[in-house]
Amino acid sequence: MNTFRQYLELTKPRVVAMLVFCAVIGMFLAVDSDGQRVLPTWHSGIFGALGIWLASASAAAFNHLIDQRIDKLMARTSHRPLATGQLTSMQVFVFAMTLGIVSMLILVFLVNMLTAVLTFFSLIGYAVVYTAYLKRATPQNIVIGGLAGAAPPVLGWTAVTDSLHPYALQLLLIIFVWTPPHFWALAIFRVDDYSRAQVPMLPVTHGVKFTRWHIFFYTVLLFLVTLLPYLTGMNGLIYLFGAVVLGAGFLWYAVKLFNPPDDYFPMKMFNYSIIYLMVLFAFLLADHWLVQPPVHLPVRFDPIV
Ligand code: HEM
Ligand SMILES: CC(C)=CCC/C(C)=C/CC/C(C)=C/COP(=O)(O)OP(=O)(O)O
């Protein structure tokens, strides 16, 4: 592997691509204080996405740095550049710091302070609170830590409007509730890895059966939470259709997981979780721009900040 690819791997490019995708959709879902659709300017769109991307990549690189001992012990992560010794801790530290500082400079000077502050908290939330503390401390690690990963649509939104709208928090809530079934499906499949590395993930501490019930509970909750954008008048029937069909698919996986046809089934659910989120956000976007103004529940929500 050449050096460029090793540094690229530190940034968890596919996960971060998804975070930026959610942030960009957040930008295009933004409304002003009168509830009117607004578009990102070229400036806020490009620098907002760049800053959020670099901050997420920095957080991912810090995660590699802090987790190198664990990563060495798990089959899924043992090939990572620090685990194999292809990069040194100092190289990764300098890389992560550089990305973090550049992202903050971009957000503070070229976007706005609100987005910079919220992105900074997300970076610290993932790199320090989740990775260095929660991950090793409690099986609720990914539930609480999921807050940082759920932030991107809010960050995209604030990059455009410089204000925090309650509608944006609904998007955060969706990703927040989506994260446990997303991760625990993978954790069931990788339970031996986590057990070997002594990471207290739910299937390790409480068993697979208990984890399946948690996945089911969060999937039902996710189904309900995804109805909120319709119920609050943020989105219309096109979105509702997408949310119900996609949610029914997710529920099917959660139920089938109680009696899986084969050992690989949890990974099929994990893969579905990613398609689910991507398509759900595409529906939010399509609905927002194809159907306007929303015709139901004329509730007015003012920005919080
Ligand atoms: C605390 C929260 C989260 C945890 C613990 C978590 C955990 C994981 C893990 C362990 C993987 C497997 C990576 C690998 O194969 O090496 C993964 C993959 C992935 N996650 Fe998450 N995740 C979280 C939040 C998120 C969020 C918020 C998003 C996007 C909105 C996301 C999107 C993805 C994507 C797209 C992949 C597939 C990457 C690939 O194909 O390699 N995850 N996640
Ligand atoms: C600024 C901002 C939006 C920050 C969010 C950063 C970020 C990369 C969030 C994604 C969450 C994620 C991939 C968790 C997996 O970590 P893990 O350590 O459990 O997984 P691993 O074993 O694959 O490393």
Which pLDDT tens digit goes with each residue over 27-59? 999 998 888 899 999 999 999 999 999 999 999
pLDDT score of 210? 98
pLDDT score of 166? 93
For residue 25 and ligand 1, the question of a CB distance below 6 A is answered with: no
State the ligand closest to the CA atom of 185.
Answer: 1
- Of the chain, the percentage scoring pLDDT greater than 90 comes to 92
For residue 76 and ligand 1, the question of a CB distance below 6 A is answered with: yes
Half-sphere exposure of 61 (CA within 13 A, CB side): 25
Between the alpha carbon of residue 76 and those of residues 116, 166, 215, 254, 275, the distances in Å are 33, 38, 22, 23, 21
By residue count, the chain amounts to 305
State the ligand closest to the CA atom of 199.
Answer: 2
For residue 19 and ligand 1, the question of a CB distance below 6 A is answered with: yes
For residue 274 and ligand 1, the question of a CB distance below 6 A is answered with: yes
Determine the average pLDDT of the residues in 242-253.
98
> pLDDT by residue (tens digit) across 14-29?
999 999 999 999 999 9
236 has pLDDT over 60: yes
pTM: 0.95
Which residue, judged by its Cα, is nearest atom 25 of ligand 1?
149
- What's the one-letter identity of residue 293? P
Which residue, judged by its Cα, is nearest atom 13 of ligand 2?
15
293 has pLDDT over 90: no
159 has pLDDT over 90: yes
